[in-house]
A and B are shown apart, each in its own frame.
Chain A
Amino acid sequence: MKVLLGGGELDTIVQALRMQGHTVIGPVMTNGVIAHREIHSAEELPVGVGEEQDGGRYRLVDTGTDERFAFSSPSESWKQFLHPPQALLVRAKRENGRVSVSEPEYDERPMAFFGVRSCDLAAIGILDRVFLAPDAKDASYAHRRTGLFVVAAGCANPASTCFCASMNTGPTPTAGFDLSLAELHRDGKIDYLVTSGSERGEALLESLPHRPVDADDVLAAETVHTTAVAEMGRQLLPEAPPLAAMNLDHPQWDDVAERCLACGNCTMACPTCFCNSTHDTTNLTGTEAERYRTWDSCFSLDFSALQDGPVRPAVKDRYRQWLLHKLVTWHDQFDTSGCVGCGRCITWCPVGIDITAEIAALAKEPA
């Protein structure tokens, strides 16, 4: 089902989701970036805010328009809501030497993600494969995911760091959403072409005042798509990762290791990097313990540490692990790439290391 909503009517979706009991989370301007926070109204979305992104660089810019989705990939993905940076796994008590353990209770309020970019939609699908695997289902992830309502939003203005088109993950959402928005900017007027992707998405649309879609609207949305593809700043050639995996001793690995700070920013910003650590805490008297799972990074030395030290002591080892996992071994493990082309690892790398440039160099025979 496709309908047209006027620019001022976008909030009807937010309010309908809130009425259904969802915590609605959407893009907002905060601390000089676009980030994802709970919103109570579509009025909180950024208006006329685009951004310049490049290696190690992110700046918001005023587009001078009324567009609410003029930006590309926000500083944060949606990973933090489905796979929180810190999650309680186990609660335990010890009384008279007897230990009792319990699972924490889940937040019952379902979430709605509002304005999910196509790359990030693909990333959610990838996290699903990790945490909803039939032989290793994560109960808390499954709980959050089951209640989730997804409103996607196509990208009109990809950043210079974006390469979703070459990863076949965007810029226009094609599946995995309940509703998808295409923002149409015509003669100074904003409309939203809204497509339903599920029964509950369709039911929600039917409950809202809306107008039918005509051929001009569909054509306008297609133009947004083709323009965005043409403006895509970077690309990652599909033949590059397997070639790089053959070149494990390529001098480029040493070259990138000279620049890489092993800070792990790329893994934090990445919408699919899921690696983590688990640790215990106790109260002062030692009668209560909690086990927490927190995000971790394959760039930390401790990540691979065994009795005699880390398995990957050199930065070169760790960068190679990250890159080859993301682009090569992920396919063997989860039947998909671990990269969706959002470009965050490029933007948020303090020294601007570019995954597309590195993989291209690694795929070439060393000189």
Chain B
Amino acid sequence: MIPVMYEVVSRSWDAEDVATIAVAPVGEAIVAPAPGQFTMMWAFGIGESPISIAEVQGDVLIHTIRGVGAVTAALTTAEIGEQIGVRGPFGRGWGIDFAEGHDVAVVAGGLGLAPLRPVVLGLLAEPERFGKVSVLVGARTPKGILYPDDLDAWSTSATVETTVDAAPSSWTGNVGLVTTLINKIDFDTTNGRVFICGPEIMMTSTAKAFTARGVPPQHIRISIERNMHCAVAHCGRCQLGSLFICKDGPVQEWSDVAQVLEVGGR
């Protein structure tokens, strides 16, 4: 339960309450997280929060965090040089090899693009290993679309589509749920693989939209969010049916969780 100390080396604001911070180890580093794994980040004297990994650059970990609670607010506003504790990496990641040889649809809602970013970077780094790559991004407002520069860069080698729930009249892009983008992409529904991350209702509706088009549920992976205090299956808070999301997740096959998520309040 002892955190490894890191220090903030850079910060940029993605939105009013969303910051991307890079942290570098003060001494020893943790084991490099795989795409989709998470760490427990500790703000001295305030507490810990599970945080997804947006990118790994050597020993440097990059996280995009929304400051909504005491801990995440402290993490997003930490000064350059401030020390932050890190435990992990924890959990089961996306498993990019799962998509080898197939078309891939990466579907993100809001901040859900952060944990999917390493997947897209991985897919585009080795295009010969994968089929057509599509990145579908939904956000509440145009300002909520994360990593606009990345999306531009990715659009040269992947299909990138964005949509927002609501927008000012100056917005010329799509308006509607992220599921409305699915028909826009060229995707092999028989063999293609789908990675989804966002609010739970967005993930379940997206997964259902893909299965309705004939994608087998075991070809879809989602990343589940639950309350966590320990990340080692001791605090009991992250349970979903038989799963401890901290160690059995956060990434799960849709085929394994569709039923338990169907019943509310689990």
Residues of A at the B interface (CB closer than 8 Å) are 89-90, 92, 94, 97-103, 130-131, 133, 135-136, 138, 248-249, 274-282, 286, 289, 291, 293, 296, 298, 303-308, 311-314, 316-317, 320-321, 325, 329, 332-333
Task: Apart from A138-B232, A277-B235, A321-B265, list 6 A-B contacts with CB within 8 A.
Answer: A136-B232, A136-B247, A276-B234, A278-B230, A307-B69, A311-B226
A-B contact count (CB 8 A): 118
A314 touches B265 (CB 8 A): yes
B234 touches A138 (CB 8 A): yes
A332 touches B44 (CB 8 A): no
Residues 42-74 (chain B) with a chain A CB within 8 angstroms: 42, 44-48, 66, 68-69
For A312, list chain B residues within 8 Å (CB): 265-266
For B81, list chain A residues within 8 Å (CB): 97
B233 touches A90 (CB 8 A): no
Contact with A along B1-38 (1 / 0, CB 8 A): 11101000000000000000000001000000000000
Question: In whole angstroms, how far apart are the Cα atoms of A329 and B3 in the complex?
Answer: 30
Q: A248-B263, A280-B47, A307-B68 are in contact. Are A136 and B1 (CB under 8 A)?
A: no
Question: In whole angstroms, how far apart are the Cα atoms of A99 and B199 in the complex?
Answer: 35
Subset of 21 A-B contacts with CB under 8 Å? A89-B1, A90-B3, A92-B44, A94-B45, A97-B82, A133-B233, A136-B232, A138-B234, A275-B235, A291-B1, A291-B48, A303-B237, A305-B227, A306-B226, A306-B227, A307-B66, A317-B264, A317-B265, A321-B239, A321-B265, A333-B233
A320 touches B237 (CB 8 A): no
A98 touches B83 (CB 8 A): yes
B244 within 8 A of A: yes
Of A274, A286, A316, A333, which one neighbours B265 at CB under 8 angstroms?
A: A316
B236 touches A274 (CB 8 A): yes
A99 touches B242 (CB 8 A): no
B236 touches A97 (CB 8 A): no
Q: A303-B237, A306-B227, A317-B264 are in contact. Are A99 and B1 (CB under 8 A)?
A: no
For A282, list chain B residues within 8 Å (CB): 44-45
A333 touches B47 (CB 8 A): no
A277 touches B229 (CB 8 A): yes
Closest to B6 in A: A99
Question: In whole angstroms, how far apart are the Cα atoms of A279 and B233 in the complex?
Answer: 17
A280 touches B242 (CB 8 A): no
For A98, list chain B residues within 8 Å (CB): 26, 83
For B127, list chain A residues within 8 Å (CB): none
A333 touches B48 (CB 8 A): no
For A274, list chain B residues within 8 Å (CB): 234, 236
For A317, list chain B residues within 8 Å (CB): 264-266
Closest to B230 in A: A278
For B232, list chain A residues within 8 Å (CB): 136, 138
A135 touches B234 (CB 8 A): no
B3 touches A303 (CB 8 A): no
B198 within 8 A of A: no
B241 within 8 A of A: yes
For B45, list chain A residues within 8 Å (CB): 92, 94, 280-282, 286, 289
B266 touches A321 (CB 8 A): yes
For B227, list chain A residues within 8 Å (CB): 303-306, 311
Question: In whole angstroms, how far apart are the Cα atoms of A280 and B45 in the complex?
Answer: 5
Q: A136-B234, A306-B226 are in contact. Are A101 and B239 (CB under 8 A)?
A: no
Closest CB-CB distance, A321 to chain B, in whole Å?
7
Question: In whole angstroms, how far apart are the Cα atoms of A281 and B44 in the complex?
Answer: 9
B229 touches A278 (CB 8 A): yes
Question: In whole angstroms, how far apart are the Cα atoms of A291 and B3 in the complex?
Answer: 11
A313 touches B265 (CB 8 A): yes
